[in-house]
Amino acid sequence: MKQYLMALDQGTTSSRCVIFDRNGNTVASASKEFTQYFPQVGWVEHDAEEIWQSQLYCAREALKRSGLAPTDIAGIGITNQRETTVVWEKGTGKPICPAIVWQCRRTAARCEALVADGKAEMIREKTGLKPDAYFSATKLEWILTHVEGARERAERGELLFGTVDSFLIYRLTGGSVHATDPSNAARTLLFNIHTMQWDAELLQLFHIPAAMLPKVLPSCGIFGETDTSLLGAPIPVAGVAGDQQAALFGQCCFERGMVKNTYGTGGFLLMNTGDTAVSSESGLLTTVGWQIGDQVTYVLEGSVFVCGAAIQWLRDGLGILGSAAESEALAASVPDTGNVCFVPALTGLGTPYWDPYARGTIVGISRGTTRAHIVRATLEAMALQTVDLLDAMQKDAGADIPALRVDGGACANNLLLQMQSDFSNLPIVRPACIETTALGAANLAGLAVGVFGSLTEIAENIAVERTFTPEMDEAAREKKLLDWHRAVQRAQQWAAD
């Protein structure tokens, strides 16, 4: 029986392919960066054709390195940068313009107008999201308005829209399948997460012709087969989920109340809320985790914009670090931050503050402050921002969080995870495989094609590499949080005047 699974992990800066065996071990992988385009201040674009080529290259390269035959691969799972918007020709599969990336702020004014127009509540009720330029709808509307002839062609049924998963499925299946999954559809601002359908009122609000939308299929199931010419054999595309939801699945957070945090460029905390779409009072998003059969799992999501990126800034902007990994030893060379507190609001603040006008702020500097104190304060901030997300989540979910599972590049930092445990007073669990995004996509596919018989079988694979437990006393924790919130207040609204 075929036992290997291929994950296509299409990220914001690179495409990756990882091949796993049935026990979740990595057999081979390959990755390739692609071009980032910044045509104007605040605009971010990708070339969808280059994304496809880089992803195909990685799949072929990983397969070659694994020494496996294409017929050994039981199924392909796709996970992807979310919200990024692609429009392509139905006939040729060619994109009609650059893809508008989730980070792109070109439609911010349109979103502010929607809020001023009183649409925010209706949008939140239906989609679980905010009217923000982050999500796909206003990007798609922008393309239909600004690319010559696009609206007429879309209305004639000649153009297709999709997030990156959808575009990859289209290409992988030789143009025969136009589909997406609910975890991606739920990020468009066009999908009603309660009825689990594209929403007519929202399509009208954003002037989107229904004919260009992909079919929404369960995250775990057969979407189609790859065109034989691509990988040498037809392979079922059998699992699809957006990157953060795939990481939650890869962390085996299958039960209601289970939580994971990813420490990447940004930080993303997701909680499984089971079959209930929990509406947030604390600035979290309500979204779909995955759909298996007709069973939908919902999640609450909190995001911090700058997490590991703050370490990048110390390295590349300030030049006080040679590498990201160096931050651990340097921060550990001092016993504390010497009262320095850094709020890394370099691009504003996300959950729970949602303040686009907040800016990075370092307070408490004295004559004795060294770069080690600044670096230590940066790691503390990465943990403290996550405490704010955890607090918001506990409030909304009305339940205590028992433990936090972690992944992402910066979770290699032991000091950071000890701080996280201390500041949040929770056990922090780091799995052996921190490629959780790719693993989640592979496991969704594995469940669909029968490599796994149940979620329980998947969970048997998870191995914990290390657990961090709290060592800080209550008074010190309270003081730390108090100082953090005082510093956040000083960062808020800085750029508003």
Helix, strand or coil for residue 215? strand
Pairing of the two strands 259-263 and 404-407: parallel
What's the min distance (Å) between Cβ of 303 and ligand ADP? Answer: 12
Shortest CB 355 distance to ligand ADP, Å: 22
| Cβ neighbours of residue 382 closer than 8 Å, sequence gap 6 or more | 263, 267, 307, 308, 310, 311, 344, 410, 416
Q: Quote the strand ranges of 249-398, DSSP E.
A: 259-263, 267-272, 285-292, 295-304, 341-343, 361-363
Q: Kindly provide the b/e burial profile for residues 150-181, where b requires at least 16 CB atoms within 10 angstroms of the residue's own CB.
A: bbebbeeebbbbbbbbbbbbbbbbbbebbbbb
Q: How far is the CB of 13 from ligand ADP (least distance, A)?
A: 6
The SS3 assignment for 304 reads: strand
Neighbours of 117 (CB within 10 A): 10
In whole angstroms, how close is the CB of 266 to ligand ADP at the nearest point? Answer: 7
Tokens 């609450």 -> residue: 300
How near is the Cβ of 11 to ligand ADP at its closest, in Å? 6
Count of residues in the chain? 497
429: β partners: 405, 467
Residue 322: phi and psi, rounded to 5, are: -80, -35
* Nearer residue to ligand ADP within complex by CB, 62 or 190: 62
349 versus 410: smaller Cβ distance to ligand ADP: 410
For the chain, the C-alpha Rg in angstroms (whole number) is: 22
Could you give the 3-state DSSP secondary structure of residue 422?
A: helix
Cβ proximity to ligand ADP, 13 vs 295, nearer residue: 13
Question: With respect to ligand ADP, which residue has the nearer C-beta, 409 or 427?
Answer: 409
Q: How far is the CB of 245 from ligand ADP (least distance, A)?
A: 15
Minimum distance from residue 310 beta carbon to ligand ADP (Å)? 8
For ligand ADP, the nearest residue by Cβ is: 409
Q: Closer CB to ligand ADP, residue 223 or residue 268? A: 268
Q: Shortest gap between Cβ of 348 and ligand ADP (angstroms)?
A: 17
Are 465 and 432 spatial neighbours (Cβ–Cβ below 8 Å)? yes
**Of residues 181 and 243, the one with the C-beta less far from ligand ADP:** 243
Q: Which residues bind ligand ADP (CB under 6 A)?
A: 11, 13, 264-265, 308-309, 311-312, 324-325, 327-328, 408-410, 412-413
Residue nearer to ligand ADP on the CB measure, 236 or 344? 344
User: Please, which residue, 2 or 315, has the CB nearer to ligand ADP?
Assistant: 315
